[in-house]
Amino acid sequence: MATIPPLPANAAAWDQARNAFMQSILMDTPLATLAQDLDVPPWPVNAPDETPAAYVYLPYSQAVAALAARGLPPAQLGALIAILNETNAFDQPFGDMMGGLEPAAKDAVDEGSPLIKNLHKLALPADFPLEFSALSAGTLELCRNEGVSTLGDFVGFASRLSQTVIVGGDFRALLNALAQKDEAALARSLPLRVGHPGLHLLEAVALTIRALPQAARDGLRTTPPTVPTGLAARITRLAVYFKADLDAARATLASGTPPERLVAQLGESEIEQLVLTVLRPHLPLPVAPPAPKRASFWAKLFGRS
């Protein structure tokens, strides 16, 4: 980590930095987090609300006052300018968020962009179908209308989209999570297992279950369970896409591992049981033994079972 002193700050430098940052997708990211990934000194305040948004809307004098309220000297504004400028330099490869690209470049994807690099670092497959994500119906509809069907398409689309369109919601949340390599945030939209590379079948099924209305969940608990046709079809598509995971799960169960241990990593007992329920057609899960047959009166009399 760099140990360079804060840059000198004045009103002109501050206005230039904050105006350039106004449309960044990282506006609500903690400054301490941004500093960790940049060649700048650590930011001394680590709090969820200590973000660029807390400062960039303030003119020079008010920004200095806001720093003072946090116990920071006026010179800290120079360090803030450095973070904003360096983050902007990182952010720009995502695409010109204030305008479109030339038509000939619309299908191009910059393999050297930070978002693409983060996909590779986290081993997130670019061909992952967005239909298997937990993005809202509105976001998925927007993506379908733009011909965006995979995670790789999503990154390319986001790099071309005007910032005035990315106003929030789960689209921006996923984009921010990818930019920050925030696995916990990514796991809210993608079947990611925190601490493990790639995307996974059990987490994908769990995302599907969490999105079900309560009535559908209750139906899965009946005997026999009521599995809607659409849900069964989606689970089948997941099983096909995550074939390697499915084969590994089959081998694990075949070795004698209890099914409950297979899904224990999900950490939600209710979800775990429902995941096993919908996966039953695809896994060699044990079935309940048949109820013992009651002996008739004559069988009891003659000692027959």
Instruction: Determine how many CB atoms are found less than 10 A away from the CB of residue 83.
Output: 20
pLDDT of residue 109: 52
How do the domains of the chain map onto residue ranges?
A: 11-93, 103-186, 201-282
Amino acid letter for position 81: I
Q: What is the pTM of this model?
A: 0.62
Instruction: Determine how many CB atoms are found less than 10 A away from the CB of residue 17.
Output: 24
Long-range contacts of 206-210 (CB under 8 A, 24+ apart): 206/266, 206/268, 206/271, 206/275, 207/132, 207/133, 207/134, 208/132, 208/234, 208/235, 208/238, 208/278, 209/271, 209/274, 209/275, 209/278, 210/134, 210/271
pLDDT of residue 289: 54
Instruction: Collect all residues with Cβ–Cβ distance below 8 Å to 270 and sequence separation of at least 6.
Output: none
How far apart CA 86 and CA 105 sit, in angstroms, is 26
pLDDT of residue 67: 92
Q: Dig out the tokens for 254 from the structure.
A: 């075949």
How far apart CA 7 and CA 270 sit, in angstroms, is 53
pLDDT of residue 168: 52
How far apart CA 53 and CA 76 sit, in angstroms, is 16
pLDDT of residue 197: 93
pLDDT tens per residue across all 305 residues of the chain? 444 444 456 888 898 888 888 777 678 788 988 887 677 889 999 888 898 989 998 889 889 989 999 999 988 999 999 898 887 765 544 433 333 333 334 444 556 567 888 899 999 999 999 999 999 887 888 788 888 999 999 988 876 664 444 445 788 889 888 888 899 999 999 999 999 999 999 999 999 999 998 999 999 999 999 999 899 999 999 999 999 999 999 999 999 999 999 999 999 999 999 999 999 999 976 655 555 666 555 555 555 55
CA dist 87 to 4, 36, 157, 284, Å? 17, 11, 21, 50
* Alpha-helical runs (H) found in the chain: 11-21, 31-36, 60-69, 76-91, 114-121, 137-145, 151-160, 169-180, 183-186, 201-210, 214-220, 229-241, 243-254, 259-262, 269-279, 297-301
